[in-house]
Every structure is written in C-alpha cells, then in structure tokens.
A and B are shown apart, each in its own frame.
Chain A
Amino acid sequence: MNSVSRSSLVIALGILLLALPFVVRSALTEWRTSSYRPVVSGQVELAATPEPTPTAVQAPREPSAPVTHLRRGAVVVDLAHFNMVSPSQFQALSAQLAAHGIALRFWTNPTPMANVDKTNLAGLPDQSDQLATQLRDAGALVVVSPLFLWKDSEIAVVERFVADGGRLLLISDPDIPEVPDRFLRDLNRLAERFGVVFHDDYLYDLSHNDRNFTHVYQSQFQDRAAKLQGKTIVFYGVRSLSGPIISQVRTGETVQSSLRSGLSGFTTVAIAGLSANRSTGRVLAMGDFDVLTEPYVSRYNNRLMLEFVADFLAAAQREQELADFPAYLGARVGLTFGGDLPLDAPFLAQVSQLQQLLQTSGRTLELLSLHDVVLTATMAFSASKASTETSQSPSAADSPPLNDLIYVASYEAAERETTLLSDAGIRLTEITPTPTFSSTAPVTPTYTGTIAPSVTPNYGVLGTPSPGSTVASEGGILGLLSSPEATPTPSPSLEERLVPTSTLTPTPVATRALETAFSPPLLLDDTILILRRQLPGNKQVTAVLGGDLAALEAALNRLVAQNFADCITRPDAMICPFEFEESVAAPEQPPSASPTPEAPTEEPAEAPVATETPSVPLGSRGDILVVDDNRTATTEDASEADLYARTLEEMGYTPTLWFTESDGDPTLQDLVGYRWVIWSRGTYRGEPAQTKTLAALALYLERGGRLTISGRTPVLGGSNRPASVIADVVLTDEIPPLVVGLSSSTITLASNLPPAVPLGAQWGDDTKVAMRRGPNSADADAPVMVALESNNASGEGVRRVIILGMALNWLSDGDAAQLVRNMATWMLER
C-alpha cells in the first residue's frame, strides 16, 4: 500500500470515527423509546341493550260525569302572577276534577309578558278585585310557583276565601326555576299565612330512584293519604315542606335534601291551615307539580296521587254568604216583585242584567207573578200554576226544583206581604227630628223636601202590620204573603216622590226609618237592604228592599255588579247606602253649557229623570254635547273628548264640552238640548254610572237622541268580562259608512295600552258591528265598535247609538279624525 492509499484509508477511518458517535446515538434513541411498556388495562364494558317501547296498558276508564243541575264551584288556577306553568299541564287534573263535576278555570293576566318589568317582582298591580271576582263562585284555588309577588290585599282575599270553606292548593316545584330564590319567596309569602313553609331545596335519592336521582319514591302515607300506603308514588323533582302541618306523604331514609343536609324523612305533601284565619285543614301543600302532569302521572301509581289531590279540591264546601251572590243560588231562581211598583225602563234593564248574570253562571231566572208565589209558614214558597205545569212536561222532567226566590219590593210592601223584616229584627217606623237633631244632622232638610203629602197617610201604618197582611209568628220564619184578595196599601209612586211640592215648611216632619236591633234607626230613603233568608226544605229567599223604585234599581245594580264595597255586611244581610241626589230634582246648569233663552228657569220645569217630557226641545241648544266623563281621570290620561271636539270643530260644528268632574253628570234636561251626545271616557279608569244617569241616557234616546259612548270602560254596553288588552282591531263590512276612509282593514294599536272592557257580544237585530278585536288581542273577535239604529217606542223618532269600546286616541291621529268624521256623518248628516 503506498502512502497515498494509506493516508486515504486513515482519513476515511477518521471520518467514520467522526460520524460513528452520531450514528450510534441516533440508533440508541430509537431503541430507548421503544422500551416503554404500557399498562394493559383493557376496556370498560359499556354495551347496553336499548329498552323496547313498552307495551301499552289500558288507559283508565273515563269517569262518568255526575248528574247535577248546577255546576259545582270551579277550581281557579292562578296564572295572573305569571306563574311558570302552562294550562296544558293541568289537563290531567282537569279531567280528574271533571269526574266530580267541577271545572278548572284559569285566572290570567291580560298584560303581555313582554310588557311586564320582570326585574321588579313587586311591581305587578294589585289584582285583588279580579281575584275576588274569580273566587266568588269558586270552590278551590290552585297556586303553582308564581313569578310575581302576591300583594297583601290579594292574600287577604284568599284568606277570606279559605275561611269561607274554599280549598287552597299550593305547589312549589324545584324544577320550575326561572328566577332562582325569588319565586319560592313569593309563594312562601302566601303559604306562610296558612302555616306552610316551602324549603328552597330539592330532594334526591342516589340509591333508589326512577332513572334519575331527583325522581324519588315516596315511602310514608299518613292521615288522609293513608289509602296510598303500599302504592308506588314517585315525585319528579320535589322540595320539602315544614311548618305546623299535617304530613300526608313523606320520603324514605335514603332520600336526602340538597339543602337540609343530615336529615331524612321529608314531608312532601301536607295538609295545612291555621285556626287563626279559619283555614285549618283546607290547605294542601305539595312540593312537586310534575306528579300531577303527563307523562309522570301515568307512571306507577301516580294517578292515585292525582285522585287524592282532586278529591281534596272537590271536597270544598263554601259557606256562601250574601256577598257571594249568586253563588249560593240553585239552578232555578224565581223573581217576583212585591207591591205595585211602577217598573220603568231602567229598572227593567237592571232586571235584564240580573238575568244575564244568572244565565252566565248556568242558572235560569223565571219571572213569577206574585199570585203564583204562595208563601206558607212551612214551605216558605212554591211555584204554582205555570211553573208546576212546566215541570210536568216530559222534557222538563229533569228540571231542577225551584228553591230560590228573589223578592224585590219596597219596604212597605215587604212589611205588608212578608215577615222578612220582622224576622230580621227590623221594623218600619217614623222619626220626628227635634230641632237639636236637625241642627247637627244636615239630612233633615233633604228629606222634608222629598216627601209628598200624598204619601203621608201611608206612613200612619208604619211599624204595624197593614190591614191586608197577616204575620205568621210560628217559627219566626217568613210569613204569609199577601192573599189575592188582600188590598195593598197605596205606596208612593216614583213620580210622586220626586216632584217637589209647594208645601215645604221649616217645621220638622216625620221621616221614615228602619228600626233595627243592631243599630240606631236607619233613614229609610237612604238605605238599601238586601236580606237572605234560609227556609226549610233547602229553600231560600233573597229580598231586595228599598224605599222606592230608584233605590231598588240601585240595589239591583249592586247585586249585578256585586258592588258591596260601601255596605255593612252580615252573612244574611247587606245594608247599603242609597243617595238620591238632589240634582236630579233640581239640576244646575253646567258652567260650560251654553245658556239659551229656552233654558228652564223654574224648578217645576226641571223635572226629574223619571218623569216625562222635558221642556227643552231636542237639539235646541246645539248640535253636539261632548261629555268628558273625567271624574276618574288622572294627570297621565290624555283627554279623548278634546280629540272629538277638535275634529268636530274642524268640520264646522261648535260642540259644547261638559266635564263631569266639575259639572256633575248631565241630566235629561241637559242632554235633550243636543242632537248628538258623545259620552267620552277615553283611557280613564271609569266607574259604574249612576242609575239616574243611565236612565237619563235611555230617555234621551227615547226622544230620538243620538248617542256615542266611547272609552275603554264604556258607560254603557260593556260586558261582565274582565278588561283585557286590545292589540289590533279589524274593520267589518257590516256598516261601511262608519269605517270608510280608515287607513287599513286591520289596524294595529300601540303596545302598552291599558286593558279595555270587552263590549257585550249579544246585541239585537238592529245592531251592527263595525269593528272587532283583532287576532292578536285578548278576547279576539269581541266587538269594538257597534252601531244601533232603530225607531223609538213612539215610532216618531230614530235613535242612533254608537259604542266604541276603546279610547279613540289609541288610533293614529288620521284614523281617529276620520272615525269622528264618519260618526258625525252617520249621526247628523243623513
């Protein structure tokens, strides 16, 4: 090997040695990473066979409805506090209650949820009036997880309801959360009044449950729920209860609370109530709502739990009092008038409303002649002749018995024909005020001016039985009604009473009064008396008594409107004030009314409403009177009357504005001076009109007047349904002249409008509907604007009425002005 070769070999060897460590290290790296030995752990066996669709079992047999003449008191479900439940969840309970002949009724809040401030849970307006109306004929109330706070006044209504025998079901379910903590506090606010406290927990069972740890089996059934012992009842998300309660259902030892750690055996269903508010045993509290709903109610024996709840609700026995009228009446009710009262149109209208009220509740009102009603000491009354004949017809074989009578009479007639007053410890008498008395009692002059000499002889027998009547003293019950041959004592007619006489004297004269055992004498003309008398044979009489026809109208109005707010109430008697305003007999001229040469200047010409022919010719003062009925207006309410007046002025009219707050209600004399009267309430809250005002409006129409009623609480034409929100209105083609020129066939109103009373749905053939509530409104399709045109009773005049059941100024300015123009054309220019 030469030196060159050798050197090359050495260099190559050197290079090899140079690279060898790199190669060896790289090879070692691969070798070392493969030294890892993983832990062999196998795989978890997780395969699971799906459960097949279960074989269907026979559904429970449909129960047959009980045969009853009158539906039992409904179960009212509170949804008015935006409870986080839906009506569909009550279907199972509804079906179960139907087996008892009981309906479920939802009490809702007409305000859209979107318009409610959900951040202020105390901000919901007081709904106690609506609640009282809902509960009047109800047997039970159900409250499930309200979102908004119950007001104290609402809770007071519930307390009275339960004290009267109503049942209360309170449910707080932990899986109706939405606003954690708040809803529970809200329900406890109500529940604590009855001794129930719902805990802010949920119960769970990790070892024995129905597919989920919150689906817990109930283990102990006690007291009224003892019949469920041995059955499988599962609650699906339930919270625990405590307080002075009688536990009905409890959980087992393995069930734990999310909050009340360390405890077991929790009460989930309990009977509650406190003697302090007479609610003992009338309140049922539950910590789960799901068990009453599908599909949970169909699992295991849960339907027995539903039956338990329905039985509890159905067992309500309301102690109906007079204030609950007509809830205590049976399916057939007779109506008879005592004495020989001259019945005028407004009075008959009140009777008609009474009939509608009874029909709404499934009752019938039958007019009975006084001669068909025989009141005896033992049977109290029975229907004879026509009623008996009717009951004998095959079709009427199942008609309910006539056990209830409404007796409407003046005090004199009642005392003469019945012993109602004496049985109630009341007798008619006369009082003669002394000078001392008259100086401190300003009422005396009023009454001296309203008693006509022609009625004086009648007072001579007050306080003693009249010659034509006989008082049955046995048993203290209602005595004999007048026999056919009895001659009634003359009683003052309304006209006689209202016409001021020229015999006024400053000398104190006798004043009629009611002498009672429980109060000083009550001035007869100031008092309305409604009595309820229970009679043998499960019969009863409701007596409506007043000093005269106007008082009786007012009394019937109170019954129909169930307005006893200012009355002294007893379970069987209602003593209400009646004020016959002097302005009826001697109306004053309103400051804003245009004086005319024809304006009456003498008192006799200012005849009262119920008397005939006013001296002012129709339309003699002007074309249009716009009555701004602003008595209940607030500073936030915009005047609708201004809108009417402004548009009419633009049309060339000179309407007269009248403000009821400052001018009082216009009388018939005031009304007949105008061809067209617009009675505007607009957005005002409104209040029931006085009888004399309604009578004046009726008589104005009878004289051929044209009348527009307008507002969300119309003075005439409203239904008995609660106010609800109008979101849109739809025009009809029934009366095109009234809707011509409006912007659209469907007019969408602004949001956040206050609720409006729906107009009545039953109108005569002469009435046409020009607008209805749109599909997005509550009470959709209810009339919003109706128009009536017909001849008056004499056939000499045409009366026209438009009732707009909303505020005109809810429409756009253009539509509102167009509507007023249409009204004016329809009213005056045809």
Chain B
Amino acid sequence: MRPRRWRIGIEIIFLVVCLAIGLVLSDRFAPRPIIGTVRFEGLIVSPSARQMWNILEAARRDPRVAGIVMEISSFGGDASSSENLYYAIAKLRQEKPLVVVIDGEATSGGYYAAIAANKIYASAAAAVGNIGVWMSRPADPMIVPDVLSTGPYKLGGGSRFDNIRQLEMVKDAFVASVLHERAQSPYNPLRIDERVLGEGHIYLGNEALALGMVDALGGMSDAISDVAALAGVEQYEVRDLTEYLGLPFQPVDPFQMLATLRHTLPGEVLLLDTRFIALIGPEYEATFSGIANGAASFGEKRP
C-alpha cells in the first residue's frame, strides 16, 4: 500500500524540523574550541614555574584548547626556573599558538619566558627587557672544620673566576635566546644588536615595539583574536585555563619572595629585575642587601 501523499509530506516536515532543531541545538550545545587564558605573576621560582608548567602541559594535551593567551606580570626570578618556563612555552608553541600579553612588566626572567610566544603584546607603558643575570658572590675555596671533602671545589663548586665566567655564559644564553626568537618574529623582528641587549635596559612598551622586542601594542582582546586566528578557529570559547583545567595557579607573593630569596644559595644565578625591592619595603631591602653581599657578616667586599 502506497502511503498517502499527505503522510509523506508530514514525514518530510518532521525530518526537516528535526534537522533544524539539531542545527539549533548543535549550535548551542556542541563543543567549540577553547582559547585559554592564563596569568603568570610574581617571582619565577621553582614552585610558581612548576604550577605554570602543569597548566601549559595540560592545555597542550587538551584537544579543545585551540590556543593560549598568557598574561605575564613578572620581574623574573631564578635563572633555571625562568629557562624552564621558556622551554615549556616553546614546547607548547610547537602544537598550539600562544600569545603573550605583558601586563605591567615582563622584565629579566619574565621577558625570557615571553620571548617563546608566537606573538608578544604590551601596553605602551609596560616595562620590558632588563636582559641580564646576577648572583651573589660565592665564597673562595676553604677548609671547613669538621667536613672532609674530595676536591678543592667540592664545597664551593668552582673558583671565583669560574663563577664569573659561568655568570657571563648564562647571560650569553639569555641574549642568544632573545636574538634567536625575536629575530624570527614574523610581525616585528628585533632591531637592536647583542651588545645593547646585554646592557640590561628596561624599555617602555612603545620603545620595545620600536626595537622589535614586542610585536604590537595591545591587550587581551587583541591577543585572543590573534590566537584564534593562528589556531584557525572562528567559533571558540574563551576560558580561564585554571578553571577549565582545574589547575590553580598561586603566585609567589612578596612575603614568599622574601622567604625564598632568604634561602637563595650563594652563587645561585638570578634573572631578576632588582627594582622590585622598592615595592616590598625596607625589611626586604635589608635581606636583599644580605644576599647581594654574600659574606657581608665578615665585613668583606668579596667573600
């Protein structure tokens, strides 16, 4: 028995309605790519760098995350943690786009982390740069009572000139990384030489733009659009990665900075913009003075 024509009509209408509803529902409920945002602020030391690595690594593995906008507000920190953060961003960038927005300052180790991004935005008044390294002066080799050791540098790690040379090497690596990353920027390649970079200047955002240390002046909205474009998504969600991934980021606050740097070993290399001392106050200044003058208690200029 052949169906009647009206019945066929009703079936077609039903199917069209289902399709329409499906389209409407899919538009509303189907998963869309995520542009994740994350903010790194404070000192770059092992705990904070580790938290940020966890977030970046989770974002890299999450298929919904199409790209990341990383907001940086940091004076830097210890050299190794800063380099690790740089490596984490560089690795993520191999799979997903990451754009950095400098909020306030990305100096020293903070800038080191930023250069791994696909693109760097900064505000005109942001502080950018301060490329360089410092460390407290290590002690000369000495015989420590009640301690037996097997070599002249077992306890100290090297001679004074070893430390001086190695400090210079860490700076050279920093400068080389900046040259390597920024010289290849498709948006605004670097326009200053190695010598000037090594002077450790801090530039304003608009100066940094002119020198090719950042790619554009702008903020989060610009960065999100750029990341989406780099990721090739038009429809996307903007999600805070710490909420989306359930991985909180707890910045190292000034008092933790104080505690952390109090335990800084003599000879530990720091990529740290020392201007932050003024933000913390006299108590920290005294501690900083103690760190910077390794054996000040002996009244000596050089330990």
Residue ID in chain B nearest A175 by CB atoms: B301
A36 touches B177 (CB 8 A): no
Q: Which residues of A contact B93 (CB under 8 A)?
A: 38-39
Complex alpha-carbon distance, A30 and B34, angstroms: 11
Which of A11, A26, A44, A48 has the largest count of B CB atoms less than 10 A from its CB?
A44
Q: In the docked arrangement, what's the CA distance between A543 and B90, Å?
A: 89
Chain B residues, Cβ within 8 Å of A36: 66-67, 95-97, 230-232
A86-B26 contact given A32-B232, A44-B176, CB 8 Å threshold:
no
Contacting residues, chain B, for A30 (C-beta < 8 A):
63
Q: Is A119 an interface residue (CB 8 A)?
A: no
State how many angstroms separate the Cβ of A294 from the closest Cβ of chain B: 9
Interface locus among A17-25, A69-77, A426-434, A619-627: A17-25
CB closest residue in chain A, given B160? A295
Do A21 and B173 contact each other (CB < 8 Å), given the known contacts A89-B300, A211-B168? no
Task: Find residues 134-167 in chain B having any chain A CB closer than 8 Å to their own CB.
Answer: 140, 159-162, 164-165, 167
Residues of B within 8 A of A24 (CB): 26
Q: What is the CB-to-nearest-CB distance from B210 to chain A, in angstroms, rounded to a whole number?
A: 21
The interface size of chain B toward A, counting residues with CB under 8 Å, comes to 61
- CB of B180 within 8 A of CB of A21, answer no
B167 touches A10 (CB 8 A): no
* Cβ of A503 under 8 Å from chain B: no
Quick check: is A436 within 8 A (CB to CB) of the other chain? no
CB pair A178 B29 closer than 8 Å: no
Which residues from 188 to 204 on chain B have a C-beta closer than 8 Å to any C-beta of chain A?
Answer: 195, 198-199
Q: How far is the CA of A10 from the CA of B13 in the complex (A)?
A: 11
The yes or no answer to A728 lying at the interface (CB within 8 A) is no
Task: Report the minimal beta-carbon distance from B134 to chain A, rounded to whole angstroms.
Answer: 11
A14-B15, A21-B25 known; A46-B300 Cβ under 8 A? no
Task: Please tell me which one of the listed residues A10, A22, A45, A86 contacts residue B14 in the complex, with CB atoms under 8 A apart.
Answer: A10
Q: Name the contact of B30 in the complex, choosing from A17, A22, A46 (C-beta under 8 A).
A: A22
- Neighbour of A21 across the interface among B30, B66, B67, B299, CB < 8 A: B30
What are the residues of chain B within 8 A of A211 when measuring CB–CB? 161, 164-165, 168
Instruction: Report if B257 contacts A (CB, 8 A).
Output: no
Contact B164–A212 (Cβ < 8 Å): yes
Contact with A along B218-262 (1 / 0, CB 8 A): 000000000000111100000000000000000000000000000
Instruction: Tell me the nearest residue of chain A to B29, going by C-beta.
Output: A22
**A33 contacts chain B at the CB level, 8 A cutoff:** yes
Do B31 and A18 touch across chains, with their CB atoms under 8 A apart?
A: no
Distance A23 CA – B23 CA, assembled complex (angstroms):
10
A295 in contact with B233 (CB, 8 Å)? no
Cβ of B296: which chain A residues have Cβ within 8 Å of it?
A: 178
- With contact pairs A32-B233, A85-B300 given, residues A13 and B63 touching in the complex (Cβ less than 8 Å): no
A628 at the interface (CB under 8 A from B): no
Query: B164: which A residues are within 8 A, CB to CB?
Result: 211-212, 215
Cβ–Cβ contact B199 & A48, under 8 A: no
Q: CB-defined interface of A14-56 with B at 8 Å, one 1/0 digit per residue?
A: 1111111111111001101101101101101110100100000
Contact indicator B18/A21 (Cβ below 8 Å): no
Complex CA distance for A25 and B96, rounded to whole angstroms: 20
Q: Is A84 an interface residue (CB 8 A)?
A: yes
Chain A: minimal CB distance from B7 (Å): 8
Cβ-neighbour of B19 out of A18, A176, A215 (below 8 A): A18
* Nearest chain A residue, comparing its CB with the CB of B153: A53
Q: Within the complex, which residue of A16, A20, A207 is in contact with B195, where a contact is CB–CB below 8 Å?
A: A207
Bound CA–CA A10/B173 (angstroms): 68
The reply to whether A33 and B25 form a contact with Cβ atoms under 8 Å apart is no
CB contacts (< 8 Å) of B186 on chain A: these are 39
Q: A381 to chain B: which residues have CB within 8 Å?
A: none
Residue positions of B touching A, CB distance < 8 A: 3, 11, 14-15, 17-19, 21-23, 25-27, 29-33, 63-67, 93-97, 118, 140, 159-162, 164-165, 167-169, 173, 176-177, 180-181, 184, 186, 195, 198-199, 230-233, 289, 293, 296, 298-302
**Known pairs A25-B27, A178-B289 / 15 extra A-B pairs, C-beta < 8 Å:** A13-B15, A20-B22, A21-B23, A23-B26, A25-B26, A26-B30, A32-B66, A32-B231, A33-B96, A38-B93, A39-B118, A41-B184, A84-B299, A89-B300, A175-B301
Q: List 11 A-B contacts (CB under 8 A).
A: A15-B18, A18-B22, A22-B22, A25-B31, A26-B30, A29-B32, A39-B118, A44-B176, A85-B301, A86-B299, A295-B161
